[in-house]
A and B are shown apart, each in its own frame.
Chain A
Amino acid sequence: MTHVLDPHALTAETPPRREPPTPFADVTRSESAFRAFLHGLPGVDQVGAQSRVAVLGTRSIKTTSKAWAIDTAISMVDLTTLEGADTPGKVRSLAAKARRPDPTDPGCPPVAAVCVYGDLAGIAKEALAGTGINVAAVATAFPSGRASRAVKLADVRDAVANGADEIDMVIDRGAFLSGRYLDVFDEIVAVKEACGEAHLKVILETGELVTLDAVRRASWLAMLAGGDFIKTSTGKISPAATLPVCLVMMEAVRDFRAATGRQVGVKPAGGIRTTKDAVKHLVLVNETAGPDWLTPDWFRIGASSLLNDLLLQRQKLRTGHYSGPDHVSVD
């Protein structure tokens, strides 16, 4: 165990565990109680979930509703760059695109946030000053989450200090898959605390959880621990966001609000590349959790290439003809 970053770690008293909201306050009283709660959630039938999203996928969204969906989707994009090769220049160029995605049309809404690694959060913050566009930073040893808690918390504090408005953390999938649910819970609680004012998105990395039962349990775990958003993926693992996974997560936030009164947002990330995909997700949100989630405050789409396709479709609706990839900016 590495404690070098936190000199008080060995001597500090363990604080009492933060209680989940009523009526679930006691479910974290012990490892076995928490396990019993999570495993007592209703199961998810994979075939049924797939056929439900297949039917929703046949919704025909045309004309005015398509225009609304495209603009809404643009305003929900967390425009993302998470590469080892990221530079301040790249981040500034992304920020410029975030403010005005379509330079030919001032009516085009800005995106919700720009998502970067923590060390570049300051650059993004500066580039987006006064725009109302948030800076989201990935933290907690993104994308694998394989570091000690002290390192992860330092990572979070650093990103927040650099100006991040939102922190996208990853859960410890190793702990989750081996059944150490309270470890995962405590870590989210600690990260939330380290976030201070910043909003916390909890990445479940559903591509590593694999089953929809596990996705439902992880969603509840993250919500009980105080996550403001639950997010599907890092984008580094395939499959990333899929419709059945998003369906289960939307059901989870819907049921959680019904039980506790607290609303949690959802962010599918990775793999949503076309306008059609984005519209399917909006239909899913609309018909699963309902219109309360159809704003950037409660639903985000983590993407990079998606934005250009949304812009092309938007131009098509506006002008009546398709342009081409040179009519939108490269990232």
Chain B
Amino acid sequence: MTITPPSPAQPSSQVFEYAPAPESRSIVDIAPSYGLFVDGEFVDGSGEAMKTVNPATEEVLSEVAVGTEADVDRAVRAARRAFTRVWGPMRPADRGKYLFRIARLLQERAREFAVLESLDNGKPIRESRDVDVPLAAAHFFYHAGWADKLEHAGLGPAPRPLGVAGQVIPWNFPLLMLAWKVAPALATGNTVVLKPAETTPLTALLFAEVCRQADLPPGVVNIVTGAGDTGRAVVEHDDVDKVAFTGSTEVGRSIARAVAGTRKKLTLELGGKAANIVFDDAPIDQAVEGIVQGIFFNQGHVCCAGSRLLVQENVHDEVIASLQRRIGTLRVGDPLDKNTDLGAINSAEQLARVRELSDIGEAEGATRWQPDCQLPDRGFWFPPTVFTGVSPAHRIARDEVFGPVLSVLTFRTPDEAVAKANNSTYGLSAGIWSEKGSRILAIADRLRAGVVWANTFNQFDPTSPFGGYKQSGYGREGGRHGLAAYLSTGDEQ
């Protein structure tokens, strides 16, 4: 397969121009086609195979099987068998050993996973290398430690696994979301059927290989690729005991409907429209970094992205000037270049949505600002974008754009900041920037958001529970709280 690297996106007039520093893709071996991973083996899917592309170049990376209802049924049966015969009865300490082994393999093969993630997803290698993959390994390490200590988790004297978990994950952090789902499920003694996102299946399939390398008993982890129909089959399968979904609020709603009235336990991690609140006593330079990190991390394809900047009116001009200067230094282009800050939009479909909402923002009267940056000719790209003069009534202040688009609103008093921050149907995350500790605590108390960051943004850790209020979903992932979603404490019966 010949590969054309994406053209450089930086203007060449720089004094100190950074020469291309691409991470080599030779470390990863992409097969021309992939099957489904069921019962420890790769098998053909019954559906018509789909193609997965590199969003930075539109090059087809591989063909991936599509699982039908029958395929999902096979996977669920395998998972059930593994649960009743092997994984359920296994000594918890031994389950922990498998998880430790997987965690170590993820570390050993970190570069491979990082390159593959950037190829399939479009995110910069700096992020897949420094954030996605290390955090994924950290989730396995963390949960490996819990495997034989569950009776001390404060969830009752003898918490028991639920059985088979059906898990559907999004395309923004393909491997990391897999880890968030698979690690706690396995640690608590469940087996899984996981459906990766349609546009980013490759790292999940490489993870299947890691499961084999770790000698994980067949059927404990099953990976069924496909699109919406495959996901629906996983969620609606009668023999699934637990459903975990991360993705859009719209799909989350339909899953909630499908699961209603069944015995299935459900956790949903959905959209967000986080307020990032900058007070006039904030450390301005670090706040600007935090705003950039909050909205441009992973091209803004982050459910907890700080997409609404609430800035105190008396520092608005200063913060925006500083922000624009900083955005001018962002390096947009080849995701595999180690110096790239902003990669490609994951799909044509997502790009269309980002464009549409941005156009609506302009039509509704907000002022669009974009730095002077040249985008590659091929692939799906959108420049970092800031809208000023946004009113809480504008759609770009209410709808999740899920792209590198920041809406700037202002406030005059702390009460107004809280009112505007909470004025959203979502409630996943929020940020507060202030040098005054008492103010941070007082405001955090009043924000209806699952995560509140103070003087930082987009920090994740497996020990810290993550989840939303309102239409951002329910249930928590990570930490002690995250274990509860995969355990029966006896109260349910």
Contact = CB atoms under 8 A, between A and B. Distances in A.
Interface of A: 42-45, 47-49, 51-52, 55, 58-66, 68-69, 72, 251, 282-283, 286-287, 291, 294
B338 A58 contact: yes
Interface string B418-454: 0000000000000000010000000000000000000
B461 interface: no
A48 B456 contact: yes
Nearest to A69: B16
Contact of A43 (B16, B283, B456): B283
Nearest to B341: A55
A287 B329 contact: yes
Interface in B4-58: 14-19, 21
A204 B339 CA distance: 33
B19 A62 contact: yes
Interface string B389-414: 00000000000000000000000000
Contact of B16 (A48, A55, A65): A65
Contact of A47 (B130, B435, B456): B456
A68 B435 contact: no
Interface string B261-294: 0000000000000000000011111100110000
B17 A58 contact: no
A58 B15 CA distance: 19
Contact of B283 (A44, A62, A64): A44
Contacts of B19: 61-66
A66 B17 CA distance: 10
Given A45-B455, A47-B456, A286-B16, A62 B21 contact: yes
A287 B325 CA distance: 10
16 contacts: A42-B285, A43-B282, A48-B285, A48-B286, A48-B289, A48-B455, A49-B286, A51-B456, A58-B338, A60-B18, A61-B19, A65-B16, A69-B16, A286-B15, A287-B329, A291-B14
B286 A44 contact: yes
Q: Please name the 5 residue pairs, one residue from A and one from B, whose CB atoms are nearest each other, closest first.
A: A48-B286, A60-B21, A291-B15, A60-B338, A45-B283
Contacts of A294: 15-16
Given A59-B18, A60-B338, A43 B281 contact: yes
B126 interface: yes
Interface in B110-163: 126, 130
Nearest to A287: B329
B53 to A, nearest CB: 26
B339 A59 contact: yes
Given A60-B18, A282-B16, 4 more contacts: A42-B283, A43-B435, A59-B339, A65-B18
Contacts of B283: 42-45, 48
Nearest to B337: A60
B286 A52 contact: yes
A48 B18 CA distance: 24
A58 B114 CA distance: 15
Interface in B338-368: 338-339
A266 to B, nearest CB: 15
A63 B15 CA distance: 15
Which range holds the interface residue count of chain B?
A: 20 to 34
Interface of B: 14-19, 21, 126, 130, 281-286, 289-290, 329, 338-339, 435, 455-456
B433 to A, nearest CB: 9
B16 A291 contact: yes
A55 to B, nearest CB: 8
Contacts of B456: 47-48, 51
A290 B273 CA distance: 33
Contacts of A72: 16
A58 B126 contact: yes
Nearest to B283: A45
A327 B339 CA distance: 33
**Which of B126, B283, B435 has the largest number of chain A CB atoms within 10 A?**
B283
A52 B338 contact: no
Contacts of A69: 16
B118 to A, nearest CB: 14
Nearest to A63: B19
Contacts of A42: 282-285
A187 to B, nearest CB: 28
Contacts of B21: 60-62
Contacts of A58: 126, 130, 338
B338 A251 contact: no
A51 to B, nearest CB: 8
B435 A48 contact: no
Contacts of A48: 283, 285-286, 289-290, 455-456
A294 B15 CA distance: 8
A286 B445 CA distance: 40
Nearest to A49: B286
Nearest to B21: A60
A68 B14 CA distance: 12
Contacts of A282: 16
Given A47-B456, A49-B286, A52-B286, A60 B14 contact: no
Nearest to A295: B15
A63 B435 CA distance: 42
A148 to B, nearest CB: 37
Contacts of B282: 42-43
A47 B290 CA distance: 11
